[in-house]
Structure 1
Amino acid sequence: MAWNEPGSGNKDPWSGKGGDQGPPDLDEVVKKLQEKFGGMFGGGGGKSNGSDSGGGISLPGGIGIGAIALVLLVIWMATGIYIIEPAERGVILRFGAYSETTQPGPHWHLPYPIEEVYKVNVDQITSFRHKATMLTRDENIVDVELTVQSRIQDAGDYLFQDQNPEKTIRDAIETSVREVIGKSDLYYIMTEGRSAVAAQIKSNAQNMLIFYKTGLEITSVNTQPAKPPEQVKSAFDDAIKAREDKERLENKAEAYANEVVPQARGEAARKVADGKAYRDRVIAEATGEVSRFLAVLKEYEKAPGVTRERLYIDAVETVLSQSSKVMLDTKEGNSLMYLPLDKMMGGGTDTGYQYGGRGGYTPEAGRKQAPATETRDQSRGRRVR
């Protein structure tokens, strides 16, 4: 039925008089949305006051959204807090590029994905063994075995400057060993040069690691005793023993020389001093004898008879004073009066002479004649006549 036919109820679509036939109200739509969001975030702003006729988003709903955003921001920022242990170093990457290295302690960085932290243990010691057969300077083959210990010195260089630091340090040790062994003799490597060879290997390898920026530091290089090949090992052992015996004997001889030479020098000095003392004593005695002789000579020139008799008496006194027997002779008697003064005086030496009458003294069959004669000769030699 058309809208203008009789009985249609005057339903004119353009007159606005058709009851509820118009479009929905915009305020109602906004209020419904406000109620939905308020119910989701716990707000009660869906209900409007009696005097609020315009409608819109209420204040309590806006506060809930901001609080949630703030909490999320705080949590995101808190993820940047980190702690570095005493044995570690922290490497900071900003957008994937190296930024800085942090020391032990608590730190904060911009959270991911802006910055990242890599923790590196710089106190951990790593070790590996290296063994090789090499040619020495004197064209001998030697087996070398050593143990190398290292640690991380620069965490930034260790992570980003060298692709494989462990392989680099092995290659550096190999190069350094071949250089040092090739410049040394076999005897030097196997004996007193062992510690010096290890120090030179460590120094050369460390310089290479610094040049390549590996971030590693060699802490020690311990070399095992170098050994010759098995085919000639017995000959080398004999040679080494012979060198050791040579050194031992040289040390023993040197110690003996150090002990004997000072004694000989002291003995020589003592004999020289004794000789000088004897020389001075003899010179002094000779000087005294000469002085005494000159004094007697002056007296002899003044009174020759008196001086001659005095000298004779002194000589007889000197001779008889060395005898323990006293002999008395008379002019008219043939017997000798003998007094055993030696026994009376408590003993003495036998002169070896017996009286033979007026013919004089006769020596016995041989005993003690020469000692008495030597004594008298020595006495006469010391006296000045």
Structure 2
Amino acid sequence: MPWNEPGDDGSNKPKDPWTGKNKSSGSGAHDAEEIINKINQKLNSLFGGKGKGGDGDNEGGSGMGAPGAKGVILLTIVLFAVWLFSGFYTVDARQEALVLRLGAYNATTGPGLHWHFPAPIEKVEFVDVAQNRSAQDRSTMLTIDENIVDIEVTVQYKVKDAKDYAFNVFLPDDLRDQSRGTLYQVMRSASREVVGRSSMDFILREGREQIALETQTLMQSVLDSYKAGLQVIKVNLTYAEAPEAVKDAFDDANRAREDANRFKNEADTYSKKVVPAARGQAARKLEEANAYRDRVIAQAEGDASRFTQLVAEYRKAPDVTRERLYLETMETVMGGTRKIIVDSNSSNNLLYLPLDSTGSGAANMPSPAQVASPFINSKGQQGSDTANGRSQRNLQPGANRGERQ
């Protein structure tokens, strides 16, 4: 019979050519059982036990001798060493580790390699304290003047105390859903309180920075009172506008407000330009008035002094002084007026002599002999009495006037 054909032991049952055992429909289950038995035999031999077929020194065909005790101790030592080695852990530079002993907080460790009692005695939780986290909220709020404004607030924060962050407050923040975190609720509450104390014009115009600072201060105060272990880094008021339903009306009001501010600035610029000029003119007028006053006073004092001296001279020689004053006055008056010479004894036409002409006309003026020749009468005498027919004269302002006594 070929070597690979099943044999026959007279029981009319096919046998496996490899193992020599009878084949049956449940051969798979018998194979698994055989494998398990072999594993048990190996373990028994490792710990000093005796398998089937051994002597009957131990009941049940198995026992535990000295070699078996050493194996248990060795295995225990190995397992204990592995358990102790599992207590080593490394903390990243951006993290802090919280060591929990039997579920209670024990210590906080910083970056580096550390060791703790392995589970189930101690457990380590890692907290990222260097990450800048953010949360934002956009909603409509009511102002102090009973207007509705659409506000969007963005908050940047980080963990400042890992212990407080992990144990004092339930769910301080939730990076996957910020609306579930305590910080998000504090942000909404603080922003509504600050906006509720401000007017809408202040919020839409110059008050954004101040509102953001007040919101940050209030949020930090509330979080510190909660001992949440969070630090608010920055609060930004990224959007502040009127609701869409009334946005056009508010835009018109804003444009009118901007025009008013522009006109006001132009008026301020004009006033800053005109006022100094007016003040300069006023100062110049004041100086001129002061100079005129001083000049008039000085002239009046000079005239008074001169008159006093003339009185003294007049008392000494009245006729001479009177004649001299008359001549000086006539010289002053006639020097600045136009003169007309009339010969009453002649029937000739009136001759006008522009004796007061100046400039280029002065070179063409006739000589005194030519002027006087038509007015000499037939007897060869010059009409000296023509001086008595004097025209009215106007004295120049400021000229000295002689008084004829």
TM over 0.5, shorter chain? yes
Which residue is equivalent to 1:168?
A: 182
- Aligned equivalent of 1:383: 401
**Is the partner of 1:226 in helix, strand or coil?**
strand
Within the candidate set 181, 187, 194, 2:195 is matched to 181
Aligned to 1:259: 273
**Cα distance, 1:273–1:79 mapped onto 2, change above 3 Å:** farther
Amino acid at match of 1:149: Q
> Where does residue 27 of structure 1 map in the other structure?
none
**Residues 1:82 and 1:312: Cα distance change in structure 2 (over 3 Å):** same
Letter in 2 for 1:378: Q
Gap change, CA 1:294 and 1:344, over 3 Å in 2: closer
- Work out the CA distance in 2 between the residues paired with 1:267 and 1:197: 48
Q: Distance in 2 between matches of 1:130 and 1:207?
A: 19
Whether 1:305 and 2:311 are equivalent positions in the alignment is no
Instruction: State the one-letter code of the partner of 1:97.
Output: A
Q: Is the 8 A contact 2:336 2:356 kept in 1?
A: no
Pairing 1:275–2:289 present: yes
1:112 corresponds to which of 102, 106, 118:
118
Aligned to 2:234: 220
TM-score (norm 2): 0.63
Asked if structure 2 preserves the Cα contact closer than 8 Å seen for 1:190 and 1:225, the reply is no
2:150 matched residue in structure 1: 143
CA contact (8 A) 1:199 1:221 kept: yes
Match of 2:107 among 88, 100, 104: 100
Distance 1:219 1:349, change over 3 A: farther
SS in 1 for 2:130: coil
Where does residue 238 of structure 1 map in the other structure? 252
Give the match for residue 155 of structure 1.
Answer: 162
Distance 1:322-1:243 versus aligned 2 partners, 3 A rule = closer
Pairing of 1:1-385 with structure 2 (within 5 A): 82-104=89-111, 106=112, 108-113=114-119, 114-166=121-173, 167-318=181-332, 348=362, 357=375, 358=383, 360=386, 373-374=393-394, 377-378=395-396, 381-385=399-403
Q: 1:123 is aligned with what amino acid? A: A
- Asked if the contact 2:84–2:118 (Cα under 8 Å) also holds between the matched residues in 1, the reply is no
Matches of 1:341 and 1:266, distance apart in 2 = 45
Aligned partner of 2:150: which letter?
D
Cα distance change on mapping 1:381 and 1:349 into 2, 3 Å: farther
Looking at structure 2, the residues matched to 322 and 238 of structure 1 have their Cα atoms a distance apart, in angstroms, of 73
How big is the shift at 1:350? 9.7
Distance 1:237 1:320 in 2: 81
Question: Match of 1:123, SS?
Answer: coil
Structure 1 pair 280–89 and aligned structure 2 pair: CA distance change class (3 A): same
Question: 1:28 maps to what in 2?
Answer: none
Q: 2: distance between equivalents of 1:314 and 1:116?
A: 128
Q: Post-superposition shift, 1:346? A: 6.9
Note closer, same or farther for the CA distance 1:341–1:290 as it changes in structure 2 (3 Å cut). Answer: closer
- Structure 2 counterpart of 1:108, one-letter code: H
- Work out whether residues 137 and 152 of structure 2, in 8 Å CA contact, stay in contact via their aligned partners in 1: yes
Tell me if structure 2 keeps the 8 A contact 1:147–1:223.
Answer: yes
AA in 1 matched with 2:100: L
Identity of aligned residues (%): 42
AA aligned opposite 1:134: M
In 2: Cα distance, 1:172 partner to 1:282 partner? 83
Secondary structure at 1:378 match in 2: coil
Q: Which runs of 5+ in 1 are unaligned?
A: 1-35, 38-56, 364-368
Deviation at 1:297, TM superposition (A): 0.8
* Bigger Cα displacement from structure 2, 118-127 vs 165-174: 118-127
For each residue in 1:119-152, what CA deviation from the matched residue of structure 2 results, as whole angstroms up to 9, or x when unmatched? 3221211112201122222222221112121111
Q: When the two structures are superposed, what TM-score results if normalisation uses the length of structure 1? A: 0.66
Q: 1:362 to 1:81 in 2, by over 3 A?
A: farther
RMSD: 4.3
Shift in Å, 1:78: 6.1
- Tell me the secondary structure at the aligned position of residue 299 of structure 2: helix
Do the aligned partners of residues 192 and 341 (structure 1) sit closer, same or farther apart at CA in structure 2, a change above 3 Å counting? closer
Amino acid at match of 2:162: A
Q: Which amino acid in the other structure matches residue 155 of structure 1?
A: A
- Give, in angstroms, the shift of residue 342 of structure 1: 9.4
- CA distance, structure 2, for counterparts of residue 187 and residue 349 of structure 1: 84
